[in-house]
Structure 1
């Protein structure tokens, strides 16, 4: 992989982790150090990339768990109001808002 693509992938990963501040926290480095890495002023070494991959895997696991808890395709996740037709008269269901 060429250096530019590698750096672009790194930047995308940082954004997916919630931006520079969140990614720096996940990587246990300073915002300044992360800025140097993002700008290409410092080399992306194996240790930082391994830590980034671990943070991405952890983030993905949390996203999968949240999706499973929110997905209305699972009957256990549905609320009574989700079974009311979308354009139903609001007076027919409790809550009214």
Structure 2
């Protein structure tokens, strides 16, 4: 297989894009420690992926996407609970005001 300069550049850009996006996802998790805990990966490995010392494979990206969806579900549930609490408190204040 012969790679042209364009092919090499495209591959390098793709690798860079994966690293950049993975680093962004790590921040969405709340940082390296939280990402490592949620993904079940050592913190050093997370840093190595971001620094380009280890390649970011399709499996890691799929696991990251799955875990981000779980985090989004948890955040959605927390949002509903907060709204429920605030609505209940607003209702109690309305009752208190009429008493």
Please tell me whether the aligned partners of residues 20 and 31 of structure 1 are also in contact (alpha carbons under 8 angstroms): yes
Please tell me whether the aligned partners of residues 37 and 44 of structure 1 are also in contact (alpha carbons under 8 angstroms): yes
Q: Counterparts of 1:1-97 in structure 2 under 5 Å?
A: 2-71=14-83, 77-80=87-90, 83=93
Inter-partner Cα distance in structure 2 for 1:10 and 1:35 = 10
C-alpha spacing 1:31/1:80, structure 2 compared with 1 (3 Å): same
Q: Taking CA–CA contacts closer than 8 Å with sequence separation of 6 or more, which of the two structures ends up with the larger relative contact order?
A: 2
Deviation of 1:39 (Å):
0.8
* Structure with a larger share of its residues in helix: 2
Please tell me whether the aligned partners of residues 24 and 31 of structure 1 are also in contact (alpha carbons under 8 angstroms): yes
RMSD: 2.8
Inter-partner Cα distance in structure 1 for 2:39 and 2:91 = 41
1:13-47 CA distances to partner (integer Å, 9 max, x unpaired)?
A: 10111110110111111111111001111110011
Query: Tell me, which stretches of 5 or more residues in structure 2 are unaligned?
Result: 1-12
In structure 1, what is the equivalent of residue 9 of structure 2?
A: none
Q: How many residues align?
A: 84
TM-score in terms of structure 2 length: 0.69
